[in-house]
Amino acid sequence: MTTVTGTGAGSGARVRTRTPLSYDHGTGTTPLLGDTIGENLDRAIAAHPGREALVVADGPRWTYAEFGAAVEELARGLLGIGVARGDRVGIWAVNCAEWVLTQYATARIGAIMVNINPAYRAHELEYVLNQAGVSVLCASLSHKTSDYRAMVDRVRADCPRLRSVHYIGDASWDALLAAGRTVAAGRLAAREAEISCDDPVNIQYTSGTTGFPKGATLSHHNILNNGYFVGETLGYTERDRICIPVPFYHCFGMVMGNLAATSHGACMVVPGPSFDPAATLRAVAAERCTSLYGVPTMFIAELGLPDFASYDLSSLRTGIMAGSPCPVEVMKRVVAEMHMAEVSICYGMTETSPVSTQTRRADDLERRTGTVGRVMPHVEVKIVDPATGVTLPRGTAGELCTRGYSVMAGYWGEPERTAEAVDPGRWMHTGDLAEMREDGYVRIVGRIKDMIIRGGENIYPREVEEFLHTHPQVSDVQVVGVPDQRYGEEILACVVPRDPADPPTLEGIAAFCRDRLAHYKIPRRLEILDTFPMTVSGKVRKVELRERYGAAGHR
């Protein structure tokens, strides 16, 4: 960028060169979709009626025509029990065919589906049901240690707007479907004709670290276009088969997975109700999947299986790794040993539908591991000074903001909290610290709240984590700041060792870092763990690590 100053263009003019600002916008020749989700699904059914749409391990296997019929059956059932346009329908379930049907059936009738975290307990369930005003709840009966029916019974008296609960695999689910048999097809068509692509279709509760979670309200236009452009960036066609072990409750599963698939006539493959590394690789091999999704810890678990080499993964070409930064060594193995030469890194947040930046299929290893890609089509990103809001020069760390079709309508029923996140210019403030490089690729350096300030020095955990991933005894690592009387904060490395019988020592970690990291970035504390505390969407709960190991006197 150049700025010309002076009174004329003659020899007296002065030319001053300025570093380009950290702003970029996604251009492209493909226009945004103007469909509702139901209209877009109809296009896929008409174009690919005989191709497989949904395959669930130990469950149904439906073509697009069969999937469309099943969606319509549930949509009529919801109409039959009196669900009106704009009513909130909760889905509290693990990954299963009925979850996907609920997603598309609610969209068809203009209802708003409320995603409820399967890990929630009764107190959290009660909050979401009341905060969103859920009138109909679709739920699993149980999963692992969770008895969903018992928890619903515990809170139902305190949820006055909840009038109907239907459990998957139970007579109550059969009754829901039966309620639609007297609903004429014309009634469903008439309801669909009332729906706009700008209508809210989904409320997703963000996993807040303080207070109750916030319900991000998303429209057909938000999530359909985001899924579509993620799929376009991956080169999806009707020949792709996408293995989705990430939870549908989260936008990774239902937007980047389901909507990316159906908007391209591709097949959704569900390996199980929750993540299991062996079940995931079995599904990839058996269904000849071309794409695989996961957070880095999922890929690490798959690569770590004792019989990993026995799975035929040769059908894979692409996939998505998101949720947290990908270590270089993990990415090398995913490309070389899982055949995912076109694997993509995505960055985003629930409030932005979710993806704002993504690496491209031809990007090299450095871009896939050192950045989270560049801006998506029809989206803007900028990096600002968190204190002033001024856009910073490229190469300078600040808060990442994004604007465009993908930004949520707001937090359900909470205008004050919405105003704290979305400014008057419609920029979503992510809370993430990032840098924009000269080439437009974005590097995440941490969360504003995760940045460690040790003796006045700013330390970004990602940098230390990336380095420690090269330690021969380290399988996975998370770095957090914990209170320290002398320095304010001190660096704690939480390590999952490659060999539990031979974990690294603090002295060994320090020696490994010495002369390679600045002295103030070297961990002063070490905890050896079997696993990290995780959210249901696969993100490490750093706040829990800080609380667990930052308590006074803990050593």
- Span 516-554, pLDDT tens digits: 888 889 999 999 999 999 876 677 888 899 999 986 444
- The answer to whether residues 128 and 214 touch, using CB atoms and an 8 Å cutoff, is no
- The arithmetic mean of pLDDT across residues 61-69, rounded, is 98
**Domain locations along the chain:** 37-436, 450-549
Task: Please enumerate in sequence order all residues whose Cβ is within 8 A of that of 38, keeping only pairs 6 or more positions apart, or say none.
Answer: 104, 107, 108, 192, 195
Which DSSP state fits 31? P
- C-alpha 306/C-alpha 301 separation (Å) is 10
Q: Tokens 């975290």 correspond to what residue?
A: 117
**φ, ψ for residue 270, nearest 5 deg:** -110, 110
Residue 391 has pLDDT above 90, yes or no: yes
- The pLDDT assigned to 83 comes to 98
Q: Indicate the pLDDT class of residue 77, thresholds 50, 70 and 90.
A: very high
* pTM, full prediction: 0.85
Q: What is the pLDDT of residues 173-203, one digit of tens each?
A: 999 999 999 999 899 999 999 999 999 999 9
Long-range contacts of 186-190 (CB under 8 A, 24+ apart): 187/76, 187/79, 188/72, 188/75, 188/76, 188/79, 188/108, 188/109
Place of tokens 């999952």: 496
Separation CA 397–CA 384 (nearest Å): 8
- Return the higher-pLDDT residue of 383 and 538: 383
Give the pLDDT confidence score for residue 536 in this predicted structure. 62
Q: What's the pLDDT tens digit per position in 142-179? A: 998 899 999 999 999 999 999 999 999 999 999 999 99
Tell me which of 27-31, 86-90, 398-402, 437-441 is least confident.
27-31
Task: Answer whether 243's CB lies under 8 Å from 284's CB.
Answer: yes
- At 189 the three-state DSSP class reads helix
Q: How large is the C-alpha radius of gyration of the chain?
A: 24
Average pLDDT over every residue of 84-113: 98
Alpha carbons 125 and 130: distance in angstroms, whole number: 9
Q: Is 543 helix (H, G, I), strand (E, B) or coil?
A: helix
Quick check: 424 pLDDT over 70?
yes
Helix (H, G, I), strand (E, B) or coil at 73: helix
Are 37-436 and 450-549 equal in CATH topology? no
To the question of domain 37-436 being in CATH 3.90.930.60, the answer is no
What pLDDT shows up at residue 207?
Answer: 62
Task: Report the half-sphere exposure of 393 (CA within 13 A, side-chain side).
Answer: 6
The half-sphere exposure of 384 on its side-chain side, counting CA atoms within 13 A, is 16
Spell out a b/e string for 285-303, using b for 16 or more CB atoms within 10 Å of the CB, else e. Answer: bebebbbbbbbbbbbbbbb
Q: What is the pLDDT of residues 476-507, one digit of tens each?
A: 999 999 998 888 889 999 999 999 999 999 99
Handedness of CA 166, 293, 428, 200 (dihedral sign): negative
C-alpha separations of 335 from 317, 325, 338, 369, 443 in Å: 9, 16, 6, 12, 21
Residue 2's pLDDT is what?
A: 37
CB 216 within 8 A of CB 266: no
pLDDT of residue 8: 41
Tokens 């809210």 -> residue = 200
Q: How far apart are CA 294 and CA 537, in angstroms?
A: 9
pLDDT more than 90, % of the chain? 81
What tens digit of pLDDT does each residue of 1-31 get?
A: 433 333 344 444 454 557 799 999 999 899 9
> Which residues have a Cβ under 8 Å from the Cβ of 174 and sit 6 or more positions away?
none
Specify whether the CB–CB gap between 449 and 378 falls below 8 A.
no
CA distance 238 to 220: 22
Q: What is the DSSP letter of 162?
A: -
CA diameter of the chain: 86
> Can you give the pLDDT at residue 510?
96
CB contact at 8 A, 506 and 522: no
Enter the DSSP assignment of 195.
-
User: Span 291-303, mean pLDDT?
Assistant: 93
Pairing verdict, β 488-497 and 474-484: antiparallel
The reported pLDDT for the residue numbered 7 is 39
List the structure tokens of 105: 């059936």
* Neighbouring C-beta atoms of residue 465, cutoff 10 Å: 20
Within 13 Å, how many C-alpha atoms sit on residue 483's CB side? 8
Q: What is the pairing mode between strands 61-63 and 52-56?
A: antiparallel
230-259 pLDDT, tens digit each: 999 999 999 999 999 999 999 999 999 999
What percentage of the chain exceeds 70 in pLDDT? 94
Extract the tokens encoding 391. Answer: 């856009």
| Distance separating alpha carbons of residues 69 and 83, to the nearest angstrom | 19
Q: Which two tokens stand for residue 500?
A: 């539990």
Superfamily of domain 450-549 in CATH is ANL, C-terminal domain (3.30.300.30)
